[in-house]
Structure 1
Amino acid sequence: MNISGNTIFIPGSTSGIGLALALALRAKGNTVIVGGRRTELLERIAAAHPGIDTVQIDVADPASVASATKQVLAGHPDLNVLVAMAGVMHIEDWRDPASFLTTAESTVTTNVLGPIRLIAALVEHLQTRPDATIMTVSSGLAFTPLKVTPSYNASKAAIHMLSESLRLQLAGTSVKVTELEPPSVRTALLPGQEDNELAMPLDEFVAEVVDLIEARPDAEEIQVERVKYLRYGEARGDYDEVVRTLNHSDPHGE
């Protein structure tokens, strides 16, 4: 993905990493469309950042995905980048099925079916563009599990393998598949995470991501330095130690 000159749709970008990345990419000379469920947040973003387009979308609702992507393409027929950012994360206790089943189902619907629906809605169009990108968003937890978020870990592992598979299928087309792999970042994804000193500051994360995109436009995986400890534990041979360290040091790891 080139760092500038794109038209980029980022569903799930009304806050946190998504919004910060949307603003950073717009500052680099891209047209950016922000998507989200809450119209009041979309209106606030549009007012605060003239030039950013917005669209209401709920990736957990197939009809909403179909309607929103149709709206985006009608207004932006030159769309060439999808960043499938939408995601949720919940603490779960699998010793008590009544306490986790609903959140587990919601996590899979948003984090796995959401990107699948978005890609399905846009992949034909993207193949008509001369230089297109599908950016998926997994996590360092796709490679090293945080024990209190089983469904989130599994959903992001699924996104990693989906990305790997799509890259193989779309080889030879104009569409590149890039996987963004965040570490823990100071956002509101979990309670208290915004103030977690062990998490990476949001502005530092997004700045490093933008630098990586600019330096390596053909990168298949975008990994800030902080995520590599989780990403490559198995390859280094210290996976068990990485799992212990993560779950001992994280405030949600009990």
Structure 2
Amino acid sequence: MNLSNRTAVVSGGSSGIGKAIVSRLHAQGWSVYTCGRDATKLAALARELPGVTTAVCDVSDRLAVRAFASAVAAAAPSVDFVVSNAGGLCEIDFTRSDLAGLDLSAELRNNTEGAINLIAEFLPGLRAASRASVLIVSSGYGLAPATRAPVYSASKAALHSLSKSLRRQFAPLGIAVTELIPPVVDTPATAHHKVPKLSAEKVAAQAVDGALKGLEEVRPGAVRFLPMLLRLAPRMAERVVAKT
């Protein structure tokens, strides 16, 4: 595929997996538009990767995503690749006594609603492309939940289901939907977590290549074995993942 003069949109592109995806697409000659909530990080990204267009946008706010999509549409009549990556993980212990002071649904808004908002608002651009792809970044915790992150796991399980439904709905439109199901990735957000990790660059490379090939799922690292283990020994597999 000739990747020059093609347009990609990446949410959460200022750090972690999102930044690695932006960097890979930029190196391949794509016109890349990315959004995030941290203006300082976005400005640093724009300096590091000249030509990448950035916008401050909270994907949980549909009107903000609509404004971002309108700005992209003014510059690019079609969008060939949309990457829903923005989100975050909170370690919430529901047994603690001060739950009243916590925002318990932030991950559902940021991870799940954010993906829905992004895909919905950029769908006109995707439909205008001759061949388009959507990459939804979920998690191995969407298949088997982590004890330390119950709401995050639930939000990613919702994205796993969303990916399957949208894949069927978008097939007649010529829009491929790929789900990225990564293990724990070496990013600033996981710096405190002492478990084996994959680099964001390796995950991004597999994700972009898999999405452009039209794969239904990309499972880097040990996650590639998880669906099989969940079929053969579900209790053991869930116990192992629960501790990570």
TM-score by length of 2: 0.91
Cα distance in 1 for partners of 2:155, 2:100 equals 15
Show the 5 A alignment for 1:70-89. Answer: 70-89=70-89
Confirm or deny: 8 A CA contact 1:90 1:190 kept in the other structure. Answer: no
Q: Deviations over 1:184-225 (max 9, x none)?
A: 1011234514xx3511122333333345456xx021111223
Show the 5 A alignment for 1:127-142. Answer: 127-142=127-142
Question: Match of 1:227?
Answer: 223
Question: Match of 1:144?
Answer: 144
Q: Deviations over 1:151-175 (max 9, x none)?
A: 1111101001111011111121121
Question: Match of 2:12?
Answer: 12
Show the 5 A alignment for 1:1-254. Answer: 4-5=3-4, 6-96=6-96, 98-99=98-99, 102-190=102-190, 192-193=192-193, 196-213=194-211, 217-235=213-231, 237-248=232-243, 250=244
1:203 aligned partner, one-letter code: E
Shift of 1:231: 3.6
User: Against the structure 1 CA distance between its residues 162 and 56, is the aligned structure 2 distance closer, same or farther, given a 3 Å change threshold?
Assistant: same
Confirm or deny: 8 A CA contact 1:129 1:174 kept in the other structure. Answer: no
Cα distance in 1 for partners of 2:206, 2:117 equals 29
* Structure 1 vs Structure 2 CA RMSD: 2.0
* Local SS of the residue matching 1:123: helix
Cα distance in 2 for partners of 1:213, 1:83 equals 10
Aligned length: 243
Cα distance in 1 for partners of 2:121, 2:53 equals 19
Cα distance in 2 for partners of 1:80, 1:210 equals 12
Confirm or deny: 8 A CA contact 2:142 2:160 kept in the other structure. Answer: yes
2:221 aligned partner, one-letter code: E
Confirm or deny: 8 A CA contact 1:80 1:131 kept in the other structure. Answer: yes
Confirm or deny: 8 A CA contact 1:10 1:18 kept in the other structure. Answer: yes
User: Against the structure 1 CA distance between its residues 176 and 213, is the aligned structure 2 distance closer, same or farther, given a 3 Å change threshold?
Assistant: closer
Cα distance in 1 for partners of 2:119, 2:77 equals 16
Shift of 1:100: 7.6
| Gapped regions of structure 2 (runs ≥ 5) | none
Shift of 1:53: 1.2
Q: Deviations over 1:78-104 (max 9, x none)?
A: 322110110110001112374388443
Cα distance in 2 for partners of 1:238, 1:35 equals 40
1:135 aligned partner, one-letter code: L
* Local SS of the residue matching 1:171: helix
Structure 1 range deviating more: 32-41 or 108-117: 32-41
TM-score by length of 1: 0.88
Q: Percent identity?
A: 30
